[in-house]
Amino acid sequence: MDCRLHLVLFFFCVHLICLSTQQETRFVYNGFDQANLYIDGNARIVPGGLLQLTNTTELQKGHAFFEQPFNFDPSSSSLSFYTHFVCALVPPKLGGVGGHGIVFVVSPSMDLSHAYATQYLGVFSNPINGTSSSSTPHLLAIELDTVKTVEFNELEKPHVGIDVNSPISLESALPSYFNNVSRKNISIDLLSGEPIQVWVDYDGSFLNVTLAPIESEKPNQPLISRSINLSDIFQEKMYVGFSASTGNMLSNHYILGWSFSKSKELLPSLDISKLPQVPLPKESKKKLSPLYIGLVVLLVITVSMVLGGMYWYRRKKYAEVKEWWEKEYGPHRFSYKSLYKATNGFLRDRRVGKGGFGEVYKGTLPGGRDIAVKRLSHDAEQGMKQFVAEVVTMGNLQHRNLVPLLGYCRRKGELLLVSEYMPNGSLDQYLFHDENTSPSWFQRISIIKDIASALSYLHTGTKRVVLHRDIKSSNVMLDSEFNGRLGDFGMAKFHDHGANLSATAAVGTIGYMAPELITMGTSMKTDVYAFGAFLLEVTCGRRPVEPELPVRKQYLVKWVFECWKQACLLETRDSRLGAEFISAEVEMVLKLGLLCTNAMPESRPSMGQVVQYLNRDLPLPDFLPSNPGIGAFMPVSVEALSAIGVPSLRNSSVSMFVTHTILDGHGR
Ligand SMILES: *[C@@H]1O[C@H](CO)[C@@H](O)[C@H](O)[C@H]1NC(C)=O
Ligand SMILES: *[C@@H]1O[C@H](CO)[C@@H](O)[C@H](O)[C@H]1NC(C)=O
Ligand SMILES: *[C@@H]1O[C@H](CO)[C@@H](O)[C@H](O)[C@H]1NC(C)=O
Ligand SMILES: *[C@@H]1O[C@H](CO)[C@@H](O)[C@H](O)[C@H]1NC(C)=O
Ligand SMILES: *[C@@H]1O[C@H](CO)[C@@H](O)[C@H](O)[C@H]1NC(C)=O
Ligand SMILES: *[C@@H]1O[C@H](CO)[C@@H](O)[C@H](O)[C@H]1NC(C)=O
């Protein structure tokens, strides 16, 4: 019984011994919570299993050894060993400087207390003759060194080296790993704070050191491969462990996991997913977050500015001015957006006319109807109500020789008038610009009659008197059948029959403006004067004032009058008429022109009479060149106009001053 118990105990003990000897050939730690480690110096095991060799206190060293030695007796066992560990070097400021580094040590003793803390990574004390005179001979160290030791001619940057008995490396290299995919060496920043994998393999003749970032497999090319005979260095019992130190430069030195084996095949693999977390420096987190917040804020601001800008741009693009009183004109009001779309965004190619007042664009409404949009600039909000009221009233005017006004739109500083599009453009183009399409006399007299009829309607045919105030060939439009139609009511003025109009401002185009305009203001007679100038313009094929011509011919009224006095009236007719005209009719129209441009307003006929003369319902009254006021074109009035701010340059040009005056006149 006793004997059997002893036997069992004996076998149990043998088993234990076998176990312990087996344990001595290999181990693995995925974190060091239950590890059998000998620890000294600054080293400690952080709750969670992280092995911290040093913290960021100056002049510290820390050591950690596996408690049991390994047998390296060359006679009984191989010298080979294989190890794989994961470490992290975390300086106080990420990406900044740190020191000094971590060393994997194979040493005959766990006591490295003699080593300098300030230098040599907490392993060596004598820099030059490591073995012979030192108390710790037989040392192998694999260093991850992050400072340059000037006296050893070490590599400039953080480096990896193999040291035997001396801090002077036998072999060193800049940290990098071979990437199998890109087939390139990729450098590793030792002080990034990221975990780094290190393999140290010794097969008895070659010592290989391999590095890789935590997420990589073991590269199939080592960083350092060095032929080395360690039989004189290794003693029978050797301890394996780590050392780290700080000097003036500081790092937290951590080991996360470690496996070791005497044989390559038995090396246990680390479970990377079970390794403890490395705390990163708080300062750098603080430093990082304002930058991050700043970036986010910047992004948010940029995005909202872009969105806001787009919204604002759209709003601004289509913005209109709308007031409560416009409700009653609703049907006549166009939205700016619809006009914008109709004219392709007021495209230059869509522009069909341009004057001092503004520009005219051709547009197409969604239904396919063609419109002309005139953009007038206006600053005065005052008087707008009345003007819009009148524009709308004008839309209600029905006469076959008026360009139908469809509606309007208001924006800040801008008024848009929408009228029917006249496919054949304005009369002045045919009279002055296009040599080949000069209208025949019969076309001209027909257009003259059309305009006379329209003007007569405006003066007497409606509930209120409408003064056009800007009659000239460029405001006479031609429809598809070449009928004349009076257009552009941008300057028109409304008033009740019989009202006194003396206080209205002088507006119009030079050459068509009656001399009394400045002193007495607008009246039906000033429209008649302009119509007279228009008669002469159409018949003679030239503008009322042409400064380039010889002095004798410069002023059309005067020239026609002079020719009449010399009994050669017909010679003033447009030479492009050829022979196709009725002399009596041309003569009558020229005389009527002179009658209408009489300097004395009371001597001018009314538009009703003009229509009758043109239709030969009434004979032209007898008058002679000697009658007062006839042919008295007064260039003085041009100068007078310039004195009050109207540039006296071109007959066709209408000044901005005029634009203001219309609105002022309305806002009175
Ligand atoms: C480092 O550890 C020591 C104790 O080992 C402690 O006194 C010191 O405050 C620590 N330093 C830092 C910066 O944590
Ligand atoms: C190192 O060893 C050499 C002889 O090999 C000796 O001359 C020298 O003084 C020693 N240096 C130190 C610092 O011990
Ligand atoms: C690395 O490359 C070798 C061939 O050069 C190939 O056999 C091996 O599978 C590759 N390993 C990986 C992890 O891609
Ligand atoms: C990578 O580095 C190793 C060792 O430093 C070197 O032998 C090898 O030629 C390098 N390979 C490339 C592709 O640069
Ligand atoms: C060391 O690396 C070389 C290739 O560079 C390889 O041939 C050798 O087997 C390696 N030795 C060990 C012990 O891994
Ligand atoms: C290593 O050196 C010892 C003597 O110093 C020698 O006996 C042994 O053969 C050497 N080993 C190798 C692999 O060269």
Q: Among the atoms of ligand 4, which is closest to the Cα of residue 224?
A: 4
Burial class of residue 313 (count of CB atoms within 10 Å of its CB; 0-12, 13-18, 19+): exposed
Q: For residue 434, indicate whether it is catalytic.
A: no
Q: How far is CA 388 from the centre of its chain?
A: 39
Ligand closest to Cα of 246 equals 1
**What confidence score (pLDDT) does residue 636 get?**
39
What gap in Å lies between CA 88 and CA 255, rounded to an integer?
6
Q: Among the atoms of ligand 3, which is closest to the Cα of residue 220?
A: 1
Q: Does ligand 5 lie within 6 Å of residue 171's CB atom? A: no
Average pLDDT, rounded, for the chain: 82
What gap in Å lies between CA 276 and CA 374, rounded to an integer?
78
Q: Do the beta carbons of residue 486 and residue 403 sit within 8 Å?
A: yes
The pTM of the whole model exceeds 0.75: no
Among 124, 126, 129, 131, the mutation site with the greatest number of ligand 2 atoms within 8 A of its Cβ is: 129
Q: Does ligand 3 lie within 6 Å of residue 217's CB atom? A: yes
Among 44-53, 277-286, 461-470, 587-596, name the one with the lowest average pLDDT. 277-286
What gap in Å lies between CA 600 and CA 568, rounded to an integer?
25
374 known member of a binding site: yes
Q: Do the beta carbons of residue 66 and residue 81 sit within 8 Å?
A: no
Give 412 or 15, the one with higher predicted confidence: 412
Q: Do the beta carbons of residue 130 and residue 159 sit within 8 Å?
A: no
Q: Do the beta carbons of residue 239 and residue 106 sit within 8 Å?
A: yes
From the CA of 263, how far away is ligand 6's center (Å)? Answer: 19
Question: Which residue minimizes the CA distance to atom 11 of ligand 2?
Answer: 129
- pLDDT surpasses 50 at 570: yes
Which is the catalytic residue, given 163, 201, 470, 527?
A: 470
Residue 14's pLDDT band, with cuts at 50, 70 and 90, is: very low
What gap in Å lies between CA 416 and CA 334, rounded to an integer?
9
Residues with CB under 6 A from ligand 2: 128-129, 133
Residue 666's pLDDT band, with cuts at 50, 70 and 90, is: very low
Ligand closest to Cα of 228 equals 6
Residue 667's pLDDT band, with cuts at 50, 70 and 90, is: very low
Ligand closest to Cα of 78 equals 6
Question: Which residue minimizes the CA distance to atom 4 of ligand 5?
Answer: 221
| Lookup: tokens for 30 | 């995925």
Ligand closest to Cα of 42 equals 1
What gap in Å lies between CA 120 and CA 122, rounded to an integer?
6
Q: Does ligand 3 lie within 6 Å of residue 221's CB atom? A: no
Q: Do the beta carbons of residue 266 and residue 26 sit within 8 Å?
A: yes
Q: Does ligand 6 lie within 6 Å of residue 232's CB atom? A: yes
From the CA of 208, how far away is ligand 5's center (Å)? Answer: 6
Q: Which residues contact 122 (CB under 8 A, 6 or more apart)?
A: 41, 61, 62, 63, 103, 112, 115, 116, 243, 244, 245
Q: Per-residue pLDDT averaged across 483-509, rounded? A: 75
Nearest to 471 by CA among 515, 514, 430: 514
- pLDDT surpasses 70 at 337: yes
Q: At what angle do helices 656-667 and 384-396 cross, to 10 degrees?
A: 90
From the CA of 35, how far away is ligand 6's center (Å)? Answer: 35
Among 124, 126, 128, 165, the mutation site with the greatest number of ligand 2 atoms within 8 A of its Cβ is: 128
Q: Does ligand 1 lie within 6 Å of residue 252's CB atom? A: no
Q: Do the beta carbons of residue 166 and residue 175 sit within 8 Å?
A: no
What gap in Å lies between CA 399 and CA 415, rounded to an integer?
24
Spell out the SS3 assignment of 395-459: HHCCCCCECCEEEEEEECCEEEEEEECCCCCEHHHHHHHCCCCCCCHHHHHHHHHHHHHHHHHHH
Q: Among the atoms of ligand 2, which is closest to the Cα of residue 129?
A: 1
Using alpha carbons only, give the angle 171, 177, 181 rounded to the nearest 5 degrees.
Answer: 145
What gap in Å lies between CA 397 and CA 115, rounded to an integer?
111
Q: Quick: pLDDT tens for 371-403.
A: 999 887 766 555 666 667 767 777 778 899 998
- % residues pLDDT > 90 (the chain): 40
User: Taking the CA of residue 304 as centre, how many other CA atoms within 13 Å lie in the half-sphere pointing to its CB?
Assistant: 6
